[in-house]
Amino acid sequence: MPHTSAINPDTGRSGEPVIAIVVPCYNETQALPISVPELLARIDEMASLGIADSGSFLLLVDDGSTDGTWDMIKSMSAADPRVRGLALAHNRGHQYALLAGLMEARTMCDAAVSIDADLQDDPAAIVTMVQLFRSGKEIVYGVRSSRASDTAFKRNSAHAFYSFQKAMGLETVYDHADYRLMSARALDLLAEYGESNIFLRGIVPQIGLETAVVEYARNPRVAGISKYPLRKMLALSVDGITSFSAAPMRWIFYLGLAIFLLTFLVGIYVLVSHFFGHHTMPGWASLMISVWVLGSLILMSIGMVGEYVGKIFREVKHRPRYAVRERTWQ
């Protein structure tokens, strides 16, 4: 599909696609002075290659930072019109900050690329993504070819995360985080997904349209520390699975079925013992084991059901997914 730009030639624009680079930022005062010039250089590069309009821009989303990130974004925006800032009312988490940025960008661009502020995802891949977009791809996933720079713990826990999700019936693109290009059309379709619990990596593959993959090497953070501790990674994993799959509930059902079948054998054993008088001391050990095993299974099941009930609770309220406090543009 040849790309048709939304830009009016009367405005003096090149007619090349306008690309928005959306960056969620949470306490990133250390990383932004390095990453913003780097990303702006990519826009210059694409404009000089003639593959993107020079009106392409950065959209920095401040996710309720507490360290002066917003002031920094505002002064960067004042210094360069290609830097736009969006402040959320409070810290909502990476996924929501990203969603807010993409939804704001979608009416202003032909395609949006989402990337983290720490430039762990090689920004050079943006150029390849845009080239694939120009050749008709609507969604381009950035996929890590190497994680050598991540700690072994981060690497292994991330791989466990993907495998676990897959086992639980959630389809995601392997080793793809949230570094991707989406066309304005794909973003419009994304906007139709009204769920409150959002896990973009699970939703985007469901949109359909033509996709492509770009490989890149994962680098260390340019500055600052990770805002994604294990606690948040686990929460994201549980959210991802329970938002997309009912497999855990089915597993509990099969487990219950297996135990139910075992109960027949246990029943026969008990009856035989009773009628043929093999009386042992009152079975403290077996009783304790049963209580613990059944007790834990029941608790697990309740917890699992509770997870879904909680989801329903949050969905039916239809609360806004994010609240915008301020924009640097009109």
Residue closer to ligand UDP, measured from CB, 131 or 226: 226
In terms of residues, how long is the chain? Answer: 330
Residue 20: CB minimum distance to Mg ion, A: 20
The SS3 of residue 39 is: helix
Structure tokens given for 227 = 């805002």
- We find the least distance from the C-beta atom of residue 133 to Mg ion, in angstroms, to be 24
25 touches, from Mg ion, ligand UDP, none (C-beta below 5 to 8 Å by class)? ligand UDP
From the list Mg ion, ligand UDP, none, pick the one residue 77 interacts with, judged by a Cβ distance below 5 to 8 Å according to partner type. Answer: none
- Using the minimum distance from each CB to ligand UDP, give the nearer residue, 197 or 226: 226
Distance CA 63, CA 228 (A): 13
Q: Chain-centre distance of CA 216, in angstroms?
A: 18
Tell me the closest approach of the beta carbon of residue 116 to ligand UDP, in angstroms. 4
Compute the distance between CA of residue 65 and CA of residue 158 in angstroms, rounded to an integer: 25
Find the binder of Mg ion among 35, 95, 120, 243 (CB under 5 A).
120
CB of 32 to ligand UDP, least distance (A): 9
Hey, how many other C-beta atoms are within 10 angstroms of the C-beta on 23? Answer: 27
Q: Is 118 in the site for Mg ion (CB under 5 A)?
A: yes
Which positions from 218 to 247 touch ligand UDP by CB under 6 A, shown as an x/- string? --------xxx-------------------
Phi, psi (degrees; rounded to nearest 5) at 13: -75, 160
Q: How many DSSP H helices and E strands does the chain contain?
A: 10, 8
Report the C-alpha gap between 261 and 293 in whole angstroms.
15
**122 contacts which partner out of Mg ion, ligand UDP, none, CB within 5 to 8 A by kind?**
none
Q: Should residue 16 be labelled a site residue for Mg ion when binding is judged by CB under 5 A?
A: no
Per DSSP (E only), the strands in 11-110 are 19-25, 57-62, 83-88
Which residues, other chains included, contact 78 with Cβ-Cβ below 8 Å and sequence gap of 6+?
Answer: 328
Task: Provide the mask over 18-47, with x wherever binding to ligand UDP is found by CB under 6 A and - wherever it is not.
Answer: ------xxx-x-------------------
- Nearer of residues 26 and 70 to ligand UDP, judged by Cβ: 26
Q: State which of positions 110-139 bind ligand UDP (CB under 6 A).
A: 116-118, 120
If binding is defined by CB under 6 A, does position 54 make contact with ligand UDP?
Answer: no
91 close to 64: Cβ distance less than 8 angstroms: yes
φ and ψ at residue 230, rounded to 5 degrees: -55, -40
- Among ligand UDP, Mg ion, none, partner that 42 touches (CB below 5 to 8 angstroms by kind): none
Three-class secondary structure of residue 320 per DSSP: coil
User: What does the binding site for ligand UDP look like in residue numbers (CB under 6 A)?
Assistant: 24-26, 28, 63, 91, 93-94, 97, 116-118, 120, 226-228
